[in-house]
């Protein structure tokens, strides 16, 4: 590190990752609309895991029912999901990132990570990083450069595909100010609507909003956090502490709707058994349970509850089945999921507090 080196956050995002891995295995697919989802059969109930840029041009996106995606792009190549192949490719990418000079790597998922580095030329570092990833894995990536995690994450979107873009306090509002709040990392449809109800439509609106108004709407912690998000502020620390799962979940999309209470309960017990096997392998007690249900045609509900910290399998099952009883008995079910939240390693000091998340 030189005296002139500055701390930077880089956000590395692999371009159309899953589709790109498939194209590497089948070079003849390059340039074609490729859709990956389920078992690769659009007549079955499944959703799109990813789509190539050529398929996205037709409006196909992640989470879309595979049947609808196939209608949008009749000539698309539809492939089944291959988790081991994507995991192996991801591990190769992350190993490449960790091998870069001075890099601190925080993995966010299969296809993205933050890289913390001290350098006098972050653009050059980013280009060198892209070259290393391409050379070692044959995969392309985009890199966002920022002085905070938020700005680096948002910057990546401006660099796609295969590009580099920098967002800092100096140009944040110039670039983002007029854009709708939903374009911020951490703001979804529901939050953007709640903000709009207070006349907060753009990033500048949010950055300059009255914090007391935000606190009244979202709470004393989340309100100020959204204001900070609007400014692009926040942590600049890339944390390479190994990720620890907060819980385990399983879910199944049924090819035929479940309509009978007995089959719903049996499906829940089967999935919960698998979840609790996963939990037992980690040796941490359960502190919360959850149920996810998707009614036909496509309405999703989730139910959660805290439980007293326990490793008693029967106690967890009993708590989860209370949530299963909340499922509307008169609505056909196309998807059912079960989840168990675990005590985190630090919880023993503070008493456990189940965390949100999972689905």
Let me know whether 23 and 166 are in one domain: yes
264 pLDDT above the threshold of 90 = yes
349 pLDDT above the threshold of 60 = no
Backbone φ and ψ of 318, nearest 5°: -60, -45
> CA-CA distances (angstroms) from residue 10 to 16, 106, 299?
19, 10, 37
The answer as to whether 190 is a domain residue is: yes
Query: pLDDT grade, residue 351 (50/70/90)?
Result: very low
Please state the rounded mean pLDDT for residues 84-103: 96
The per-residue pLDDT for 353 is 32
Let me know whether 114 and 104 are in one domain: yes
The per-residue pLDDT for 3 is 57
Can you name the residues that pair with 291 across neighbouring β-strands? 303, 338
Let me know whether 142 and 33 are in one domain: yes
Is 22 catalytic? The answer is no
Domain boundary (149, 170, 191) is at 170
Tell me if residue 225 falls in helix, strand or coil.
Answer: helix
Let me know whether 1 and 142 are in one domain: yes
The per-residue pLDDT for 357 is 42
Tokens of 32: 């074609």
- CA atoms of 206 and 216, how far apart (whole Å): 14
The answer as to whether 242 is a domain residue is: no
Task: Say how many CA atoms lie within 13 Å of 26 toward its Cβ.
Answer: 11
Tokens of 284: 């941490």
Can you name the residues that pair with 118 across neighbouring β-strands? 7
255 pLDDT above the threshold of 60 = yes
The per-residue pLDDT for 352 is 35
The answer as to whether 237 is a domain residue is: no
> Minimal CA–CA distance to 241: which of 86, 114, 93, 111?
114
Residue 31: which region, alpha, beta or left (left: phi > 0; alpha: psi -120 to 50)? Answer: left
Q: What is the pLDDT of residues 2-33, one digit of tens each?
A: 457 899 999 999 999 999 999 999 999 999 99
CATH of the domain at 21: 3.30.70.270
- CA atoms of 177 and 15, how far apart (whole Å): 26
Domain count, the chain: 3
- State what percent of residues in the chain have pLDDT above 70: 95
The per-residue pLDDT for 346 is 61
Whether the ω angle into residue 161 lies within 30 degrees of 0, i.e. cis, is yes
- CA atoms of 343 and 133, how far apart (whole Å): 36
Can you name the residues that pair with 114 across neighbouring β-strands? 11, 106
Q: 313-324 and 261-282 helices cross at what angle (nearest 10)?
A: 140
Catalytic residue among 112, 123, 263, 350: 112
298 pLDDT above the threshold of 90 = no
The per-residue pLDDT for 184 is 96
Tokens of 155: 């910057």
Tell me if residue 250 falls in helix, strand or coil.
Answer: strand
Let me know whether 18 and 166 are in one domain: yes
The answer as to whether 359 is a domain residue is: no
The answer as to whether 211 is a domain residue is: yes
Query: pLDDT grade, residue 155 (50/70/90)?
Result: very high
The answer as to whether 357 is a domain residue is: no
Tell me if residue 21 falls in helix, strand or coil.
Answer: helix
Let me know whether 214 and 135 are in one domain: no
Range of the domain at 319: 247-350
The answer as to whether 212 is a domain residue is: yes
Sheet hosting strand 141-146, strand order edge to edge = 104-109, 112-119, 6-14, 141-146, 164-167
Let me know whether 164 and 48 are in one domain: yes
253 pLDDT above the threshold of 50 = yes
Q: What is the pLDDT of residues 73-90, one digit of tens each?
A: 999 999 999 999 999 999
Please state the rounded mean pLDDT for residues 122-131: 98
Tell me if residue 79 falls in helix, strand or coil.
Answer: strand
235 pLDDT above the threshold of 50 = yes
Backbone φ and ψ of 38, nearest 5°: 55, -135
Do residues 167 and 155 lie in contact, with contact meaning Cβ atoms separated by under 8 Å? yes
The per-residue pLDDT for 345 is 78
Tokens of 275: 């979840």
CATH of the domain at 209: 1.10.150.20
Let me know whether 205 and 266 are in one domain: no
Query: pLDDT grade, residue 359 (50/70/90)?
Result: low
The answer as to whether 303 is a domain residue is: yes
Let me know whether 56 and 179 are in one domain: no
Let me know whether 286 and 140 are in one domain: no
Let me know whether 198 and 184 are in one domain: yes
Degrees to nearest 5, angle at CA 82 with 42 and 14: 100
Neighbouring C-beta atoms of residue 5, cutoff 10 Å: 13
Let me know whether 143 and 189 are in one domain: no
- State what percent of residues in the chain have pLDDT above 90: 88
Beta pairing, strands 34-36 & 77-79: parallel
Beta pairing, strands 112-119 & 333-342: unpaired
């Amino acid at each position: 590190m030189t005296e002139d080196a500055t701390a930077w956050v880089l956000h590395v995002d692999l371009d159309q990752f899953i589709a790109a891995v498939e194209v590497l295995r089948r070079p003849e697919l390059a340039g074609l609309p490729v859709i990956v989802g389920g078992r690769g059969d659009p007549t079955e109930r499944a959703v799109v895991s990813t789509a190539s840029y050529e398929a996205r041009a037709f409006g196909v996106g992640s989470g879309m029912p595979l049947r609808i995606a196939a209608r949008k792009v009749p000539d698309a190549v539809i492939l089944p999901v291959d988790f081991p192949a994507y995991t192996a490719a991801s591990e190769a990418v992350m190993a490449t990132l960790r091998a870069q000079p001075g890099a601190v790597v925080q993995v966010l998922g299969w296809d993205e990570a933050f890289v913390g580095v001290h350098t006098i030329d972050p653009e050059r570092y980013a280009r060198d990083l892209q070259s290393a990833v391409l050379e070692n894995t044959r995969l392309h990536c985009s890199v966002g450069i920022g002085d905070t995690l938020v700005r680096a994450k948002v910057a990546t979107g401006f660099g796609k595909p295969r590009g580099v873009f920098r967002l800092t306090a100096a140009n944040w509002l110039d670039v983002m100010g007029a854009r709708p709040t939903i374009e911020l990392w951490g703001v979804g449809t529901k939050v953007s609507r709640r903000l709009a109800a207070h006349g907060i439509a753009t990033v500048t609106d949010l950055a300059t909003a009255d914090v007391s108004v935000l606190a009244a709407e979202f709470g004393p912690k989340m309100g100020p956090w959204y204001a900070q998000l609007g400014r692009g502020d926040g942590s600049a620390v890339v944390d390479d502490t190994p990720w620890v799962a907060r819980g385990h979940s399983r879910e199944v999309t049924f090819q035929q709707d479940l309509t009978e209470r007995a089959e719903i309960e049996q499906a829940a017990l089967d999935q919960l058994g698998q979840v609790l096997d996963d939990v037992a392998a980690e040796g941490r007690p359960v502190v919360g349970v959850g149920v996810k249900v998707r009614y036909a045609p496509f309405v999703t509900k989730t139910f959660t509850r805290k439980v007293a910290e326990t490793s008693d399998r029967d106690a967890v099952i009993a708590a989860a089945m209370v949530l299963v009883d909340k499922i509307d008995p008169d609505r056909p079910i196309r998807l059912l999921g079960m989840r168990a939240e675990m005590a985190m390693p630090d919880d023993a000091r503070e008493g456990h507090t189940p965390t949100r998340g999972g689905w």
